[in-house]
Structure 1
Amino acid sequence: MSDDTPSADPDAPPGEPSGPYEADGAREEGGAEGDDERGLGDFRRDLSALAARPGSTNERISAEKSARAELSTFAGAGVRSERAYGGDHFEFRVEPDGTRVRMYRLFGDELEEVRSAFAAPLGFDELTAAAASASVALLTGPEGAGKYAAARALLVGAGHPELYRLAPDTDLAGFVEDDVVPGAGYLLVDAPRTLVETLGAFEVQRLERLLAPVGCRLIITFPAGVRPNDPDTHRQVREIGDPPSPDAVLTAHLTWRVGAVRTAEFGAVDDVASLIPGRSPTESPLVRAADAARMLAETTGSADEAVKRVADRLALNDVHSFHRWFEELGDIDTQCLAVSVAVFGGEPHESVAALGRALQRRLQPPQSPDNLEMPRSSPLAATGEKRLARLHAARFAEEVSARYGGVPGRVVRYLDPGVPRRVLEQVWAEYDQAQAELPAWLRQCARNELPSVRVRAAVAVGVLAEAAFDTVRTTVLQQWAADTDPRLRDAAATALSTAVRQPCLDQAVRDLVRGWAAEQGSTALCATAARAWTVLLDDGAEGDEPALRLLDQLADVDGTQVVEAICLSIAECLAMAGDSRHRQAFALMRNWTAAREPRRRVLGELAFLYAAADLREERRGDEQDGAPHSWPALLAMSARDPVRQREIAALWETVLNSSGSYETAYGVLGEWARAADPDPAARRAFARLLERVSARPRARRIVLFLADRWTRSGEAAAPRSAAEIRALLNGKTR
């Protein structure tokens, strides 16, 4: 049948060999979907369900970032606490992840701190005048000189109503119009040496032209001794003046937080001055002073009692003091809760407490007549707040932007961001009984029904791998990687993507993943290698290419486990920022769908359909209120970039004509139509994309058939999307 053959039955269902819906140049799939590919049909059906409830990839990436933030020195990135009212109540707000550049918005007390407690360095007025004359300012100075505080004060003083902090690894080339909030101020704190040295006048001018017209400003800070290689950029660098004294910072912050009277009470306590030098010598005295003021303000009781309790909190930074604190918690229940809060901080208190009890059951002998946990008829006692107080932790009211919208709740965290990692590392290193049970407990948690709990357990294993890589590799990672449970394989991959961030481990981690990929007799190990693809990103001079080559190498491995793993990893690649990564991912899918081998063709189709079904992006619509709409992320890409539009249209044409994938493709494309239906901009982008898909007569007839279906599908209808498509294709029917 030629492309021009009319349909014998215009209303025939897709797939009827007599109509235009027969696959265009349909290929025989051979054994690719037979008994040798067990579960591939199930995976196709899962894709149809996924399209109706998208977002798992973004949810997984967001959970991983949050878990790393809780256990890293950049704790709190993306999460900011704000005192809402008295006592121990806080509110946490989490900004939704951007699609290109990671950032978080500064809220409440951090902005008020700048307005009410900023102690200016010497020459700050001159610095203010210099920064006001440009939309991009470069600020340098010694470690601990207060560059971050000064940068915030410069932006607040310039009148920016919203401030955003960019992630430390931000690639400024990816900072584009879609990321910019009009009138906002942006901070890139402690920029990496390579970024500063390679920052040229052209890029600075591009940023100026991006930010100045919409009233925005970006301040980049970096350590003394680092300079841009470009002489024009070098001349724009400003030095921060001599910092204020730590005592002045302590007094300013205390006065802001508790008022002059309470500040004077603290000043009368002899030991208050010892709070500042009592911390790690690597930490800035100004930061120590501000933290000491915050802790004093959070502590009730007399000034003497408050100073003593804050000194106890600060002592957790000392190893010997940590051991004394941990052993004086009083009972194994509270010790296990301490470990659970360290690993799962940011989860609801009920979940954290339950996970702590699971660890306790592993460490404590079973109940017996001689070992009663609670004698009969003992009254219930409120222990939650007391235990958290002993841990220097608290419950927080939090609303997190998640897959199906923000859900209010109460989560638990340590009050000080450095404590979770210290608890985990010290319990692993110094408490043999706990070390023996932690792997089994984390394995249990890595199979939890909550995805965020699974991710946090995996990140904790990655942190432990940084401290004892060989032990964790043999006792945990290798076993998880070879398991039949995909949750454990994913957890092994997440753990490695955490450990690889340590320079001393990056080569060992990459060699381990390459070794698993070479074990083509083990489908599980190959699938884990595919899920661990991110460990090969930024691999020296080759950049991201080794990571994508790994996925291409694994495309030849037989097994549904590997197909699913590659599909998830391709979706992650497309969810990340970076045009180069997107280009390579689309090139892989195009090559796979055009391959001679049936296995590769099936993989390419499923990888595209998984990304099309799951990835979403928030974009503002055309309405006056500018309300955001959830777009299919690949549709948003096609609207931004004509090259991406051409690639995505070609892949849609392939799957719509595929004898093995067309039913799944119809379902996913239908969800795109419904997602676009409420938003005029999305409908236009969708229609333009399908116009390109319809360049060939057979594909055009399929698109018109689907548009008719979307008009008549009842509750699942997308009539406005269908009308937009028919209007655009009108007059092109042959």
Structure 2
Amino acid sequence: MTPTSLNTGVNEKKRSEWLQEVSAHLVESYEVTESGKNPIKRVFFEEQEAPLSILSHVWDEYDTYAEATLHWLYELAEGQNFEVRLKVAETVGQLATYEFLPVLRKILSPWAKSGKPSVQRLAALALAVVAYNEQEHIAQQALNLVDHWSNLKTSSSLQWTAIAAYGGYIGLLVPEKALDNLKIIAQSGNGKLFSDIAKAVEKLFNAGVQIPKLHGLVLNTLREWVDQGENTSVYRLSLLIFRGLMRKSWIVKNDIRQPTLLWLAKESKDFEDPIVYLMRNGLNLGSRRDSILAEILNWLEFVDRHPTLYKTLARIIFTLAASSGNERKRMCYYLKIWSINSQTAIQILNLINKHL
């Protein structure tokens, strides 16, 4: 090493000086490699917006670093902890608002095609950053892309990523479009995607706690899917989703954790009608009947503990029984069995026998 090179090294700024200039410091962390966790140091910025400001400056002013930056971000999709990966998705999304096509080609499309759910979810999150951009022409690029992926029957990976997007922030932004495209994906014939579509629709429904219109939108959409006919894929899917809502969707009201569907039926007949309609169709579909009956029993047991919802549940079951002679016989048969352990079942059975 020559004296000149030594002198150059001494005169260079130290890492600590660079960090101080941008109000940052190092923190201990790790990355996951094939040999296990590898200790590393990460840069932590004291101002939350600083990283994106620096990234924007580098992207605009230093073309030679663009390719390396994209490759670096692409590789960060794996082997990082959850918080880091979320930050990576946010950063990629922000970069895509600067220049969409290079980010699409180098990161978003490869992530979406990866076939790895954890990586594909990052693509969906990054696209959500773009979709929520205030400039419509920028946001529309993400929405158009997810719409396009939904229609690609030849790529289950891209359709899966579209499902993840519609079951997340993009779905909350365009719920009607999300449900329409989830139906298109369901009709593409790939049954392996059914459970993922169901989860996406359930997420949209549960977001009704924050966005009330979603409850009615999802229920009416499921009703429309049922109306497609028993021999269609969306008919079976809609009843699969509805059964999931009966079993897994709960809401806290008046300090009581209660089934969301029961609470909605109590609130308005606009909700009760599609709920009864979907229950009736579920009971008439052999492969769904037992699961729907199991959830009705769960509701009866819940009302045994919380009688404030008795009138709502009684009205639902009474309406089911009143729809036909066979339905009345079926409901009375099961209510008689359930009445051994349920006071609510006894009351509703007596109500049906008295008035039907």
TM-score bin, normalised by smaller chain = 0.7 to 0.9
Residue 134 of structure 1 is matched in structure 2 by none
Alpha-carbon contact 1:517-1:529 (below 8 Å) kept = yes
CA deviations 1:657-702 (Å, max 9, x no partner) are 2112112222333333334332111333222222222222333333
Q: 1:365/1:592 Cα in 2 relative to 1: closer, same or farther (>3 Å)?
A: closer
Higher radius of gyration, 1 or 2:
1
- Please say if 1:522 is aligned against 2:149: no
Q: 1:486/1:608 Cα in 2 relative to 1: closer, same or farther (>3 Å)?
A: farther
Paired amino acid for 2:24: W
- Please say if 1:498 is aligned against 2:129: yes
Q: 1:487/1:467 Cα in 2 relative to 1: closer, same or farther (>3 Å)?
A: closer
Offset of residue 520 of structure 1: 1.2
For the residue of structure 2 that corresponds to 1:576, the secondary structure is: helix
Paired amino acid for 1:358: E
For the residue of structure 2 that corresponds to 1:644, the secondary structure is: helix
CA deviations 1:701-729 (Å, max 9, x no partner) are 333344344455xxxx6x24423432432
Residue 725 of structure 1 is matched in structure 2 by 348
Residue 310 of structure 2 is matched in structure 1 by 683
Q: In 2, Cα distance between the equivalents of 1:324 and 1:486?
A: 35
Q: In 1, Cα distance between the equivalents of 2:337 and 2:19?
A: 70
Offset of residue 460 of structure 1: 4.3
For the residue of structure 1 that corresponds to 2:322, the secondary structure is: coil
CA deviations 1:366-402 (Å, max 9, x no partner) are 89xxxxx9xxxxxxxxxxxxx99x968xxxxxxxxxx
Q: In 2, Cα distance between the equivalents of 1:459 and 1:639?
A: 42
Q: 1:612/1:478 Cα in 2 relative to 1: closer, same or farther (>3 Å)?
A: farther
Residue 658 of structure 1 is matched in structure 2 by 285
Residue 229 of structure 1 is matched in structure 2 by none
- Please say if 1:440 is aligned against 2:75: yes
Alpha-carbon contact 2:336-2:345 (below 8 Å) kept = yes
Offset of residue 616 of structure 1: 1.0
Q: In 1, Cα distance between the equivalents of 2:185 and 2:327?
A: 31
Paired amino acid for 1:522: S
Paired amino acid for 1:617: I
Residue 670 of structure 1 is matched in structure 2 by 297
Q: In 2, Cα distance between the equivalents of 1:365 and 1:649?
A: 53
CA deviations 1:13-32 (Å, max 9, x no partner) are xxxxxxxxxxxxxxxxxxxx
* Greater helix fraction, Structure 1 or Structure 2: 2
- Of the candidates 240, 253, 265, which is equivalent to residue 619 of structure 1? 253
For the residue of structure 2 that corresponds to 1:443, the secondary structure is: coil
Offset of residue 617 of structure 1: 0.5
CA deviations 1:185-219 (Å, max 9, x no partner) are xxxxxxxxxxxxxxxxxxxxxxxxxxxxxxxxxxx
Q: Paired residues, what number?
A: 320
Paired amino acid for 1:552: K
Residue 584 of structure 1 is matched in structure 2 by 217
Offset of residue 365 of structure 1: 12
Paired amino acid for 2:31: A
- Please say if 1:358 is aligned against 2:31: yes
CA deviations 1:132-154 (Å, max 9, x no partner) are xxxxxxxxxxxxxxxxxxxxxxx
Alpha-carbon contact 1:516-1:526 (below 8 Å) kept = yes
Residue 478 of structure 1 is matched in structure 2 by 109
TM (normalized to structure 1)? 0.39
Q: 1:503/1:678 Cα in 2 relative to 1: closer, same or farther (>3 Å)?
A: same
Paired amino acid for 2:307: P
- Please say if 1:695 is aligned against 2:319: no
Q: In 1, Cα distance between the equivalents of 2:38 and 2:119?
A: 28
Q: In 1, Cα distance between the equivalents of 2:31 and 2:171?
A: 35
Q: 1:632/1:425 Cα in 2 relative to 1: closer, same or farther (>3 Å)?
A: farther
Alpha-carbon contact 1:530-1:566 (below 8 Å) kept = yes
Paired amino acid for 2:160: A
CA deviations 1:417-443 (Å, max 9, x no partner) are x52x53477479869788755443433
For the residue of structure 2 that corresponds to 1:481, the secondary structure is: helix
Alpha-carbon contact 2:31-2:37 (below 8 Å) kept = no
Offset of residue 485 of structure 1: 4.0
Residue 206 of structure 2 is matched in structure 1 by 575
For the residue of structure 1 that corresponds to 2:75, the secondary structure is: helix
Q: In 1, Cα distance between the equivalents of 2:278 and 2:207?
A: 20
Percentage of matched positions with identical amino acids: 17
- Please say if 1:547 is aligned against 2:220: no
Paired amino acid for 1:357: Y
Q: In 1, Cα distance between the equivalents of 2:221 and 2:228?
A: 11
Residue 325 of structure 1 is matched in structure 2 by 24
- Please say if 1:600 is aligned against 2:218: no
Offset of residue 609 of structure 1: 1.6
Q: For CA contacts below 8 A with separation 6 or more, give which structure has more relative contact order.
A: 1
Q: 1:495/1:675 Cα in 2 relative to 1: closer, same or farther (>3 Å)?
A: farther
- Of the candidates 413, 422, 436, which is equivalent to residue 50 of structure 2? 422
Offset of residue 638 of structure 1: 0.8
Residue 465 of structure 1 is matched in structure 2 by 93
For the residue of structure 1 that corresponds to 2:287, the secondary structure is: coil
